[in-house]
């Protein structure tokens, strides 16, 4: 359903009444209302729904990855920060793939290795490499500053979060245009 101005007529009337009571700042309020109406219409669009679902999947996988990283490095203290980051990333990549493919882009059936699986893992590996660099730097900085292990673990988690955040928008564009979205190459009989 596409949002229209008529969907907001009651809200507009209420806001106009409120602004008349509040010193006549109607123009400013209407500009703000117009912005939110456009934003709401965009969210209601197919692209908006996909972006929200993609964000939800990202939030789930990032939260799981951050928890795993903090537990392994911050609490268990058995492996290095980079080793724990590899485990955390690898653990959440598979559910992330299937959630994105099925729920966000609505793909069903077998995955095509060269058109879906391989590019997804290339992007995941790119994120892992970037996060390994950030994690190693954060850990070295924390050790150089002689910070406590808890602060070190927090630095490591923030570095991993930052690294994946940098790639987040780029991955959405690639997923939507080339892997799973309507512009993706159609699958053929070579599917896995």
Take residue 18 and report the two structure tokens written for it.
Answer: 């409120």
Phi-psi bin for 23: left (phi > 0), alpha (psi -120 to 50), beta? Answer: left
Q: Which residue has the higher pLDDT, 81 or 120?
A: 81
11 band by pLDDT with thresholds 50, 70 and 90: low
Q: Which residue has the higher pLDDT, 6 or 134?
A: 134
Reported pTM:
0.66
Q: Which residue has the higher pLDDT, 182 or 185?
A: 182
Distance of alpha carbon 103 from alpha carbon 93, whole angstroms: 15
Distance of alpha carbon 127 from alpha carbon 132, whole angstroms: 8
Per-residue pLDDT at 100:
87
**Over the stretch 94-125, which tens digit does the pLDDT of each residue have?**
999 999 889 988 888 998 888 888 888 888 89
Burial label for 41, CB within 10 Å (0-12, 13-18, 19+), is middle
**Among all chains, which residue has been given the structure tokens 């290095």?**
80
**Among all chains, which residue has been given the structure tokens 């908006």?**
48
Per-residue pLDDT at 181:
67
**Over the stretch 25-74, which tens digit does the pLDDT of each residue have?**
555 666 666 766 776 666 667 667 888 888 899 899 999 999 999 999 99
Mean pLDDT estimate for the chain:
80
SS3 148: coil
């Amino acid at each position: 359903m596409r949002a229209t101005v008529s969907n907001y007529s009651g809200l507009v009337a209420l806001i106009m009444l409120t602004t008349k009571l509040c010193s006549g700042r109607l123009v400013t309020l209407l500009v703000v209302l117009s912005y939110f109406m456009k934003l709401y219409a965009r969210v209601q669009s197919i692209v908006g729904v996909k972006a929200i679902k993609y964000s939800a999947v990202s939030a789930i996988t990032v939260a799981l990855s951050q928890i795993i990283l903090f537990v392994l490095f911050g609490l268990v203290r058995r492996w290095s920060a980079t080793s724990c980051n590899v485990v955390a990333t690898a653990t959440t990549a598979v559910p992330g793939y299937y959630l994105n493919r099925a729920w966000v882009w609505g793909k069903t059936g077998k995955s095509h290795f060269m058109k879906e699986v391989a590019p997804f893992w290339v992007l995941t590996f790119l994120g892992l490499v970037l996060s390994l660099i950030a994690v190693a730097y954060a850990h070295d900085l924390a050790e150089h500053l002689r910070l406590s292990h808890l602060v070190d673990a927090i630095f490591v988690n923030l570095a991993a979060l930052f690294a994946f955040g940098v790639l987040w928008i780029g991955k959405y564009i690639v997923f939507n245009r080339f892997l799973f979205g309507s512009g993706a190459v159609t699958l053929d009989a070579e599917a896995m």
